[in-house]
């Protein structure tokens, strides 16, 4: 098979000729078939690169949710008896140093969130408060108006809470045994949680057997409007004594389904971080679902 043009000689003689394409050899049926097959396979091969590129981001996202192993990219060190023989990458954003707050995009999948909601929903009860000296259920009405339920990882037969709990332990480096059961909360329109501390000040709550060190919130739903987790004293703001605990102000974190928020209630010296005060702004539109894990300085029984 050979292609050529026949205008070379005429052009050299100064004649103006139109290029005229011809085949030196006639193409037989098998040659045409082979040619088509070649172009088909070449196209198919090229398209796999395009498809890989298009889905690259999506696959990366899914892999990150599974704690990606990067042993080909980073040099591994020998691990200790209780360590890992692979490198885990879980992306996060530092939201604030006062309080120490981190945000974990895509910490859980949408399916994991839906499964947790379906376990919690039939068991919801009005949320309760730990009462300070002098407080009663009556005089604290309206402070926390969500519904909730405590669910331990061992109760969840799907194993999803187990996976989430393990992942929380890895990002906090606080052992799983120090975590309370998950408190799964639902906020409907108008429901809120006024600003409060997760740590218990013994001067207000009496002597404590253990203290809450950190809180991890896994947002199980998006919220159309409102429902942000707020830190009104972030970086020392609003701390002149005039702050109204209902007021939704300061650093506001908008819930996004599957994302996680971690903040520390204690400073490195073990005292309560005053800037860790936080609350839930009222939901304005939609519904808010969140699973909270409080992590303590002592092992927990549940
Ligand atoms: O729902 C939120 O965003 C905050 C929840 C909270 O403050 C808590 O459970 O202690």
Per-domain boundaries in the chain: 1-89, 92-296
User: Rounded to whole angstroms, what are the CA distances from 172 to 44, 50, 153, 296?
Assistant: 46, 39, 17, 12
Ligand 1 neighbours, Cβ below 6 Å, are 185, 193, 198, 217, 229, 278-280, 290, 292
Q: Whose CA is nearest to atom 7 of ligand 1?
A: 279
Task: Determine the average pLDDT of the residues in 32-40.
Answer: 60
What pLDDT shows up at residue 129?
96
CA-wise closest residue to 109 among 68, 152, 66: 66
Q: Whose CA is nearest to atom 10 of ligand 1?
A: 198
Q: At what angle do helices 110-120 and 160-172 cross, to 10 degrees?
A: 120
What is the Cα–Cα distance from 178 to 169, expressed in whole angstroms? 9
Nearest atom (ligand 1) to Cα of 196: 7
Contact 177, 166 (CB under 8 A): no
pLDDT higher for 148 or 58?
148
What is the Cα–Cα distance from 110 to 215, expressed in whole angstroms? 21
Contact partners, residue 205, CB within 8 Å, separation at least 6: 130, 132, 133
Task: Determine the average pLDDT of the residues in 218-229.
Answer: 98
Q: What would you report as the CA-atom Rg of the chain, rounded to the nearest whole angstrom? A: 31
pLDDT higher for 119 or 52?
119
CATH number for 92-296: choose from 2.60.120.620, 3.30.300.130, 2.20.25.10, 3.90.1170.50: 2.60.120.620
Structure tokens at 39: 């172009």
What is the Cα–Cα distance from 234 to 274, expressed in whole angstroms? 9
Q: Whose CA is nearest to atom 9 of ligand 1?
A: 292
Contact partners, residue 291, CB within 8 Å, separation at least 6: 116, 120, 164, 182, 183, 184, 185, 217, 218, 220
Confidence band of 22 (pLDDT split at 50, 70, 90): very low
Contact partners, residue 183, CB within 8 Å, separation at least 6: 148, 149, 150, 291, 292, 293, 294
Say if strands 212-219 and 288-296 run parallel, antiparallel, or are unpaired.
antiparallel
Contact partners, residue 179, CB within 8 Å, separation at least 6: 165, 168, 169, 293, 294, 295, 296, 300
Task: Determine the average pLDDT of the residues in 7-33.
Answer: 43
Q: Whose CA is nearest to atom 2 of ligand 1?
A: 280
Structure tokens at 157: 């037969």
Residue among 126, 130, 185 to mutate when testing ligand 1 (max atoms within 8 A of CB): 185
Decide if pLDDT at 164 tops 90: yes
Structure tokens at 7: 């205008």
Give the torsion through C-alpha atoms of 225, 288, 125, 106, to 10 deg. Answer: -170
What pLDDT shows up at residue 35?
57
What pLDDT shows up at residue 73?
80
What is the Cα–Cα distance from 288 to 251, expressed in whole angstroms? 18
pLDDT, one tens digit per residue, over 49-78 is: 333 332 223 333 333 344 455 667 888 999
């Amino acid at each position: 098979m050979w292609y050529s043009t026949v205008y070379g000689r005429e052009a050299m003689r100064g004649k103006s000729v139109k290029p005229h394409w011809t085949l030196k050899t006639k193409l037989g049926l098998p040659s045409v078939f082979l040619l088509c097959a070649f172009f088909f396979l070449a196209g198919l091969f090229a398209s796999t690169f395009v498809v890989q590129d298009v889905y690259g981001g999506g696959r990366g996202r899914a892999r990150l949710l599974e704690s990606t192993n990067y042993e080909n990219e980073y040099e591994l060190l020998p691990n200790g008896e209780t360590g890992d023989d692979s490198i885990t990458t879980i992306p996060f954003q530092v939201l604030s140093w006062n309080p120490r707050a981190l945000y974990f995009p895509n910490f859980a999948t949408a399916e994991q969130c839906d499964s947790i909601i379906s376990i919690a929903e039939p068991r919801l009860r009005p949320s309760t408060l730990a009462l300070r000296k002098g407080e009663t259920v009556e005089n604290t009405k309206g402070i926390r108006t969500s519904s909730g339920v405590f669910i331990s990882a061992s109760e969840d037969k799907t194993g999803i809470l187990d996976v989430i709990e393990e992942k929380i332990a890895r990002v906090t480096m606080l052992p799983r045994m120090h975590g309370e059961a998950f408190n799964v909360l639902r906020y409907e329109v108008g429901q809120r949680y006024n600003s409060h501390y997760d740590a218990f000040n013994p001067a207000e709550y009496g002597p404590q057997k253990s203290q809450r060190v950190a809180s991890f919130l896994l947002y199980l739903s998006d919220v159309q409007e409102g429902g942000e987790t707020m830190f009104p004293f972030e970086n020392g703001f609003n701390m002149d004594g005039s702050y109204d605990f209902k007021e939704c102000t300061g650093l506001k974190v908008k819930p996004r389904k599957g994302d996680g928020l971690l903040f520390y209630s204690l400073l490195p010296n073990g005292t309560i971080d005053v800037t860790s005060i936080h609350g839930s702004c009222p939901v304005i539109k939609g519904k808010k679902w969140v699973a909270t894990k409080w992590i303590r300085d002592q092992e927990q029984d549940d």
